[in-house]
Structure 1
Amino acid sequence: MTASAAAAVPPVPAPHPGRDAMLVYGLLGFAAGLPFYMFSTVLVLRLQAHGVALTVLGFFAWVQLLPTLKFVWAPLLDRYDVPGFSRFWGKRRGWIMLAQLGIVTAMVAMAWTSDDASLPLTALFAVLLAFWTTTLEVAADAWRIELFPTQDQQGPIVAANLWGYRTAMVAAGSGALLLADTGGWAVAYLLIAVAAFLPFPILVAMKPEGGAGGGRMVALAAGVAGGAVILAIACAVTAIVGYALLSIAAGIGIDAGSNVTPWVLGLCMVPFLAMAAALPWIRRAPPTAPIRTSTAIGPYVDFFWRYGYGAILLMVFVSLYRMGDVLALNLSKPMIKELGYSLSQIGRADGVVALAASMVGVGLGGWMVTRRPMAWALAVGAVVAGIGNFGFVWLAHRQVNEAMLYVATGLDQFGNGFAGAVFVVYLSLLVNPRYPGAQYAFLTGFAFLLPRMLAGAGDRWSG
C-alpha cells in the first residue's frame, strides 16, 4: 500500500465502553461512594448519639481532609503491584481489590467499636476507612484512564461511574441512618460494608491480565494473604503517625476547637506551588534527572515538564471551574435553613429530587463530550452550573414553598452533575498515561483546594 493510499484510509474509531465495563464502573462508583458518609456525616451523628462532646467532634472532622492528601501515596499505585492480586488480575485491579478488602475490614472494625467506648480506636478505623476509600478511587480512576484514553470513550464510562457514586451517596446518607434507627449502628456499618464489597467477586471472575498463568483460586488466596499483611502494616503505620500528629498538635496548642482546615489545605498547595516556581529548572531537566525518575515526585514533575508555563494556567483553571458548586454544597444548606425551610423539607429535596436531577445532568454531560469538542463542552458545563447555583439566589427572594425548593435543588444538582461529568473527562485527558493514578489524583486534589479553603472560611464567617 502506498503512503497516499494509507493516508486515505480513515482511522478506526476507538471502541466505546461495552455494557460490562459500564456495569463494573457503575459498581466501582457505588463502592467508593458508600463509605464516604460512613467516615463523615454518619460517623458524626453516631458520635453525637453516644454523647461525644462537640469539641471532640472537631478532631473527627479532620478525617474528611484525608482525600485532599491522596497525591502523597498515589505514586505508589502507579509504581508497585499488589502481591497475588496484581500477578493474575493486573496492577490496577490488584489495587482496587486490596482497597475493597481495606474498606470492608475498616467498616467491620467500626461496627465492632460501634459503642464508641474507645474514641482513639474509632478514630483509627475512621482514618483507615477514609484512606482505603480514597485508594480505591485513585486505582479505579487510573484503570479507567488506561482502558478508555479518548474523549469519546471517557464520556459514557465517567457517566456510569458518577451514577454509581451519586446513588451511593444518597443510599449511605439516608439508608445508613434508617438501618441504624432500626437495627443499631453495628448493623448499619456491616450492611453498608457488604454493599461496598459487591465489585470484588465480579473482579475475581474477570479474565486475567494479559493471559497471566496460574490458577485463579491460588492467585486469590495469595492476594488475600498478602493483602492481610499490607492491611496490618497500614493499620500500624496509621496508628503511629496519628499518635505522633496528635502529640505534636497538643504540644503547639492546637485542639479540637481550632480551625486547621485552611492551614492543612494551604500546606497541600506548597509542593505544587514550589514546582511552579521551579519551572525553568524542571524544563531543563533531562529524562534521567532524579526529579523526573523519582517515584514520589516524578509524576508531578512530569506534569510541569510537559505543559511548561501552561501548567500554571491549567492549575488556575481547574481550581476555579468547580468553585461555585463546592461553595454551594457547603453554604447552601445553612442558607436554606435560615430562609425557613424545615430539615424534613430539605431532606426530601436532597433525596429523590437531587438524585434524579443529578443523574440526568451526569448523563447529558457524558453524552456532550462524545459529540462536541472539549472546550465547547466545558463552556456549556460552566453556564449550566452557574444557572444551577443562581437557583439558590432566586429561592432566597421567594416565600417559603417546598415546590420552589425542589426546583432550586433540581437546577443545582443538574448543573453539578453535568459540569462534573465534563470536568472528570477533561482532567482525565490531561494526564500522562504513564502516571494516570498520580497525576489524576494531583489534578482532582488541587481542583478542590481553593474552593474548600474558601468554603471553610465561609463557614467560619457565617458562624
Structure 2
Amino acid sequence: MQVTTPISGRRGWRQAMAMYLRPRLLLVLIQGFASGLPLLLTLSTLSYWLAKVGVDKTTIGLFALTGTPYTFKFLWSPIIDQVHLPVLGRWLGRRRAWLFLIQILLAAAILAMGHTDPAIAPLRTAMAALVVAFLSASQDIVIDAYRIEILADEEQGAGAGATQTGYRLGLLLAGAGALALSDYLDWQIVFAVLAAAMLLSAIVTLIAPRAPEPVRPAPRNYREWTAEAVIRPLADFAQRRGWVVILVFILFYKFGDAIGGIMANPFYAAMGFSGSEIALVSKLWGVWMTVLGGLIGGILVARIGMFRTLMIGGVLQALTNFTFCIVAWRGHDLYALTAAITADNLAGGAAGAAMVAYLSRLTNIAFTATQYALLTSFMAYGRTLMSAGGGWLADQMDWASFFALTALLAVPGLLLLYWLSRLYPGDDRTLVEKTA
C-alpha cells in the first residue's frame, strides 16, 4: 500500500531548494498562510485579548472550547470532499469554489469578531470565535486536498514544507502582528487588518490553477454515497493494528503542551510583559525557533527514524515546560522568557515535524482527505476540549506548579508511543500494514 510523503529525498540540495520557487509551490505557501492566520485568533491571541480586558482565568480556559470545530471537522469533510457548489463550482472547479467561499466568509467572521466586546458580552465573542474556528477548520480540509491534487508526486515533500512555512507566517501575523498592533490600535482595527489579509488570500484563490477532477461514477443513492465517502475511509483506517491506541496516542502526545499553551499569554501578562515584548519574544522569535525545530525534526526523522524522533521530541517538549517555572520565579525577566521560549519552541517544532510525518504515513492515499481530517481532529481534541480546564488548574495553584504539572502530563503520551514502537518495529514502513 502506498504512503503519502517520503521522509528522506535523494535530490541534491540545489534541486530541492529550486523546487520551492515553482509557482505552484508559492501558491501552496500562500494557502498555508491562509490556514495559519485564523487559528491563533481562537487560541492565544484571543486569550491575550481576554486577559487584557480583565476576563478571569477560568473563563479564558473555557474559551478553548471555541476551537471545537477543529476536533470534529472529519464529520463534514466528506461533504466538502464530494459536493459540488452549483454556481461557483462550474466557474472555479470543486476545490477552488469551496476555498473561495470559505475564505470570503472567514474574512467577514474575523471582522465581526473584532466588533464584539468580551468584557461586556463574552458570549457574543465566543460565538464569533466559534464561527471563525468552524470556517478555519473547513478551509484546512480544502487546502489539504487541493495541495495533494495540484502537486506532482515528487513535489509533495516540498509542498509540505511550503505549507508549513506559509502556516507559520500566518501565525506570525495573527500572533506577533496582532499583539504588537494592539499596543497602538484598537482591537477592531487589528481584526480589520487580519480580515483584509484573508480577503487577499481569497483573491489568490481566484487566480490559482484548477485542481484536476477525476471522473467518478455518480452515486445512485444516499446510501451508496455514504458508503463511498464516509464508511470506506473509516473502515480502512480501523483495519490497522492497534488503531485505537494510535488515536489515543495522537490525542495525548501534545496534551501537556496544549494545557500550558492555552494559558501562556495570560501567564506572560501576569508576569508584567507588554504586548510588544510578548510579540517580539513569543510570537516573532518563537515562530522562527519553531521553524528551526521543525527542520531539525525532519533531519532526525530521516537519520534515526520516526519513532525515535517522536520520543526525543516528546521528552524534550515535556522537560522544556520546566523552563517556564524559572520565568515564574524570576517574574518580569526578558532574558529568562527568551531562553524558555527558545527551548520550548525548538523542542515543540521537532516533535511537531515528526508528528506530521507520522500522520502522513498513517493516511491511505486513496482516502487522504477524510482520514487526514480524522487524525488531525483527534490531535485538535487535545488542544481544545481537553485543554479547556487549563484555566481552572492555573487558578488552583501558582504558576510554577502549573507548568511543572504540564510537564508531567506528557508521560501518558510517551508511554503510548513506546507501546506503538514495539507494535511497529519497522518504524515508518509498516504503519499502513493491515491486520491479517
- TM-score strictly above 0.5: yes
CA drift at 1:192 = 0.8
2:236 to 293, 297, 302: 302
Q: Which residue of 2 aligns with 1:220?
A: none
CA drift at 1:428 = 2.1
CA drift at 1:423 = 1.1
2:340 to 402, 408, 411: 408
Task: Please give the residue correspondences for 1:16-35 in structure 2 after superposition, counting only pairs within 5 Å.
Answer: 18-19=20-21, 20-35=23-38
Is 1:200–2:130 an aligned residue pair?
A: no
Task: Please give the residue correspondences for 1:213-362 in structure 2 after superposition, counting only pairs within 5 Å.
Answer: 293=227, 295-304=229-238, 306-307=239-240, 309-330=241-262, 341-344=271-274, 348-362=280-294
Superimposed CA distance per residue, residues 259-313 of structure 1 (whole angstroms, 9 cap, x where no aligned partner): xxxxxxxxxxxxxxxxxxxxxxxxxxxxxx9797164554323311x31x42123
CA drift at 1:85 = 4.2
How far apart are the structure 2 equivalents of 1:54 and 1:450? 19
1:187 to 182, 186, 189: 189
Q: Which residue of 2 aligns with 1:133?
A: 136
Tell me if the contact between 1:75 and 1:299 (Cα under 8 Å) persists in the aligned partners. Answer: no
Superimposed CA distance per residue, residues 6-58 of structure 1 (whole angstroms, 9 cap, x where no aligned partner): xxxxxx99x97642343223222221222234345555666788898999878
Q: Which residue of 1 aligns with 2:76?
A: 73
Superimposed CA distance per residue, residues 392-427 of structure 1 (whole angstroms, 9 cap, x where no aligned partner): 466678797532331221011011112112211321
Tell me if the contact between 2:68 and 2:384 (Cα under 8 Å) persists in the aligned partners. Answer: no
Distance change in 2, residues 1:25/1:417 (3 Å): farther
SS of 2:365's equivalent in the other structure is coil
Paired residue type of 1:459: G
The worse-fitting range, judged by mean Cα deviation, of 156-165 and 176-185 is: 176-185
1:162 to 150, 161, 164: 164
How far apart are the structure 1 equivalents of 2:157 and 2:331? 39
Distance change in 2, residues 1:71/1:406 (3 Å): same
Structure 2 runs not aligned, ≥5 long: 1-9, 215-222, 396-436
How far apart are the structure 2 equivalents of 1:383 and 1:393? 17
Paired residue type of 1:421: A
Tell me if the contact between 1:31 and 1:165 (Cα under 8 Å) persists in the aligned partners. Answer: yes
CA drift at 1:361 = 1.2
Tell me if the contact between 2:58 and 2:392 (Cα under 8 Å) persists in the aligned partners. Answer: no
How far apart are the structure 2 equivalents of 1:211 and 1:59? 42
CA drift at 1:159 = 3.1
Paired residue type of 2:237: F
Superimposed CA distance per residue, residues 129-172 of structure 1 (whole angstroms, 9 cap, x where no aligned partner): 2211111112112333445697x855443333223223322322
Tell me if the contact between 2:32 and 2:164 (Cα under 8 Å) persists in the aligned partners. Answer: yes
SS of 1:435's equivalent in the other structure is helix
Distance change in 2, residues 1:56/1:321 (3 Å): closer
Q: Which residue of 2 aligns with 1:98?
A: 101
Task: Please give the residue correspondences for 1:440-455 in structure 2 after superposition, counting only pairs within 5 Å.
Answer: 440-450=372-382, 455=387
The worse-fitting range, judged by mean Cα deviation, of 18-27 and 130-139 is: 18-27
Paired residue type of 1:350: S
Task: Provide the aligned length of Structure 1 versus Structure 2.
Answer: 370
SS of 2:366's equivalent in the other structure is coil
CA drift at 1:206 = 2.9
How far apart are the structure 2 equivalents of 1:388 and 1:53? 27
Distance change in 2, residues 1:153/1:56 (3 Å): same
How far apart are the structure 1 equivalents of 2:58 and 2:262? 20
Paired residue type of 2:138: T
Q: Which residue of 2 aligns with 1:436?
A: 368
Paired residue type of 1:75: P
Structure 1 runs not aligned, ≥5 long: 1-11, 213-288
Tell me if the contact between 1:78 and 1:437 (Cα under 8 Å) persists in the aligned partners. Answer: yes
**RMSD, aligned α-carbons:** 4.2
Distance change in 2, residues 1:408/1:209 (3 Å): closer
How far apart are the structure 1 equivalents of 2:356 and 2:283? 24
CA drift at 1:442 = 1.2
Paired residue type of 1:365: G
SS of 2:209's equivalent in the other structure is coil
Tell me if the contact between 2:51 and 2:269 (Cα under 8 Å) persists in the aligned partners. Answer: no
CA drift at 1:358 = 1.1
Superimposed CA distance per residue, residues 333-367 of structure 1 (whole angstroms, 9 cap, x where no aligned partner): 667778xx432365543133312211211233345
Tell me if the contact between 1:107 and 1:190 (Cα under 8 Å) persists in the aligned partners. Answer: yes
Larger radius of gyration: 1
Paired residue type of 1:144: R
Tell me if the contact between 1:153 and 1:370 (Cα under 8 Å) persists in the aligned partners. Answer: no
Distance change in 2, residues 1:409/1:50 (3 Å): closer
